[in-house]
């Protein structure tokens, strides 16, 4: 059934804000004509006071299937995405076994079909994700891979130039988790006052920065690279300089790096443990500046669900990572738009247009006639606390209880309403 979204504030990354109605019909977007605003049999959604965005595209999600289905599955990740206003998500390949063969990839691409959010798969850039030789990248592309990365591990320096050239030749993005693991050592939290206060081993800034510099220098001569989850002022500065030099580098950050610092870690609570770790207030300020001036291309959740019993082990032995799909929208609205760091249109670049471009999704990322009918409607007015439980199977988040605005109220994927906020 066609759906008419009336009275909302439309936010397009290119044309900006406009007050007009939006028609969702036949899986495509359209603007209703003045003569016949109501197609026959059309459902009407009153979006008065609400913000209507192109569907959010989250380029960094761990769905944990196969291997850790107690934490998340494709089905629960897709449902969590829909509840978070995320209409498309790129899944990371560090599953168990790793998403590293065409047969495995095909199996899970099939399994993801028909779920409430579009799930796209990245494939391991190195064979078995072991970092010793290149994967069969062409065969992985043929099996459905949308990107290559060894996320969780850093792309091996010795293979980097070859990987960049092969990915560029295949026309797929190469994503790197920039971390020099020798520098990380046994660190579990940012090296600095918080590590000393909590008596925990620190992760130095160089662990991220040296890998970022290596990626950028390789990209300058060998092909495009996308830097995942940037957390440091130095990384943002390096990305800015690379872009000024005209080198093919893009970068993402995650909400926790602009919403929190390591000073927010008050106790040995592993719901604050992720990689890279929460940094200093100067780093946070630089990430915000990078989002404001366009240096950072996109915001991704790095949704990394873990079972509560594993996170209960504390900083020293719990796994790294926090959930993010269902807090992505309200953290971006509350911390970026309502605090006037970025405009609504820039937020639409960060969450819609730029990730669509990275992943080659030509008909996604805009509210324009003929584009895919993926739409995210947010409520900027009502503040609500981050709940203790999510649609996701896991709730390992440092944001529990934090009052935020900008929660999704309606998510449309391919013309189908896949999430409606419960009436309160
Ligand atoms: Zn990573």
Alpha helices in 192-232 (DSSP H): 193-198, 205-222
Structural domains in the chain, sorted by start: 3-50+372-420 (2.30.40.10), 55-358 (3.20.20.140)
* Structure-token match 């609570």, residue found: 269
CA distance 379 to 411: 12
Contact 257, 278 (CB under 8 A): yes
**Conformation bin of residue 304: beta by default, left when phi > 0, alpha when psi is -120 to 50:** beta
Contact 300, 252 (CB under 8 A): yes
Supply the DSSP string of 7-50, one letter for each residue.
Answer: S-EEEETTTEEEE--EEEETTEEEPPPSS--S-TT-EEEE-TT-
The kind and range of the H/E element at 165 are helix 160-170
Supply the DSSP string of 58-93, one letter for each residue.
Answer: EEEE---TTT-TTT--HHHHHHHHHHTTEEEEEEPS
CA of 31 to the centre of ligand 1 (A): 39
CA of 300 to the centre of ligand 1 (A): 11
The pLDDT mean for the chain works out to 97
Q: How many CA atoms lie within 13 A of 96 on its CB side?
A: 7
CA of 229 to the centre of ligand 1 (A): 7
The neighbour count for residue 421, using CB atoms within 10 Å, is: 16
CA of 179 to the centre of ligand 1 (A): 9
Q: How many CA atoms lie within 13 A of 91 on its CB side?
A: 30
CA of 8 to the centre of ligand 1 (A): 36
Nearest of 28, 119, 27 to residue 81 by alpha carbon: 119
Nearest of 298, 299, 288, 157 to residue 232 by alpha carbon: 288
CA of 177 to the centre of ligand 1 (A): 5
CA distance 388 to 223: 43
Contact 140, 123 (CB under 8 A): yes
* Structure-token match 């988040």, residue found: 397
pTM value?
Answer: 0.98
DSSP 128: G
Q: Does the structure show a pLDDT above 60 at 424?
A: no
Is 12 known to be catalytic?
A: no
* Structure-token match 């080198």, residue found: 247
CA distance 300 to 358: 12
Q: Is 385 exposed, middle or buried (0-12, 13-18, 19+ CB in 10 A)?
A: exposed
Q: Which tens digits make up the pLDDT trace of 35-64?
A: 666 777 889 999 999 999 999 999 999 999
Average pLDDT for residues 399-422, to the nearest whole number?
97
Contact 325, 301 (CB under 8 A): yes
CA of 152 to the centre of ligand 1 (A): 4
SS3 376: strand
The kind and range of the H/E element at 385 are strand 384-385
Q: Does the structure show a pLDDT above 70 at 76?
A: yes
DSSP 372: B
Local confidence band at 34 (pLDDT 50, 70, 90 cut-offs): confident
CA of 178 to the centre of ligand 1 (A): 8
So what's the pLDDT on residue 37? 63
Q: Does the structure show a pLDDT above 90 at 17?
A: yes
So what's the pLDDT on residue 33? 79
CA distance 214 to 264: 31
CA of 275 to the centre of ligand 1 (A): 7
Q: Which tens digits make up the pLDDT trace of 247-269?
A: 999 999 999 999 999 999 999 99
Nearest of 205, 251, 208 to residue 227 by alpha carbon: 251
The single residue of 302, 372, 374, 379 carrying the catalytic annotation is 302
Contact 52, 111 (CB under 8 A): no
């Amino acid at each position: 059934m066609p759906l008419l979204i009336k009275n909302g504030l439309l936010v397009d990354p290119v044309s900006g804000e406009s007050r007009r109605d939006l028609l969702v019909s036949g899986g495509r977007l359209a603007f209703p004509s003045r003569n016949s605003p109501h197609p026959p049999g059309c459902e009407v959604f009153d979006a008065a006071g609400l913000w209507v965005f192109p569907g959010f595209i989250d380029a960094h999600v761990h769905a944990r299937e196969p291997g850790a289905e107690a934490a998340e599955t494709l089905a629960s990740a897709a449902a969590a995405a829909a509840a978070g206003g995320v209409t498309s998500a790129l899944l990371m390949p560090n599953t168990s076994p790793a998403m590293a063969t065409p047969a495995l990839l095909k199996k899970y691409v099939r399994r993801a079909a028909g779920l409430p959010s579009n799930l796209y798969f990245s494939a391991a850039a190195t064979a078995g994700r072991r970092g010793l030789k290149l994967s069969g990248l062409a065969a992985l592309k043929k099996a459905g891979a949308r990107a290559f990365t060894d996320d969780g591990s850093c792309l091996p320096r010795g293979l980097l130039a070859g990987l960049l050239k092969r990915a560029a030749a295949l026309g797929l993005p190469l994503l790197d988790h920039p971390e020099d693991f020798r520098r990380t050592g046994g660190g579990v939290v940012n090296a600095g006052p918080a590590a000393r206060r909590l008596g925990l081993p620190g992760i130095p800034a160089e662990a991220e920065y040296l890998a970022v510099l290596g990626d950028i220098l390789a990209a300058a001569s060998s092909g495009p690279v996308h830097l995942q989850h940037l957390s440091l002022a130095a990384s943002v500065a390096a990305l800015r300089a690379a872009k000024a030099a005209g080198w093919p580098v893009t970068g993402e950050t995650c909400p926790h790096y602009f919403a929190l610092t390591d000073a927010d870690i008050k106790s040995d609570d592993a719901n604050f443990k992720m990689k890279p770790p929460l940094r200093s207030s100067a780093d946070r300020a630089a990430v915000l500046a990078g989002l404001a001036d366009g240096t950072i291309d996109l915001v991704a959740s790095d949704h990394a669900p873990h079972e509560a019993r594993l996170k209960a082990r504390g900083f020293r032995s719990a796994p790294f990572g926090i959930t993010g799909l269902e807090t992505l929208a309200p953290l971006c609205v509350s911390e970026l738009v309502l605090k006037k760091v970025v405009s609504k249109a820039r937020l639409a670049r960060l969450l819609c247009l730029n990730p669509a471009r990275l992943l080659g999704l030509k008909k996604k990322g805009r509210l324009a006639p003929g584009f895919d009918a993926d739409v995210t409607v947010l409520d900027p007015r009502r503040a609500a606390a981050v709940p203790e439980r999510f649609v996701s199977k896991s709730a390992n988040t440092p944001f529990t209880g934090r009052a935020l605005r900008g929660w999704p109220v309606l998510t449309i994927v391919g013309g189908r309403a896949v999430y409606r906020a419960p009436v309160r």
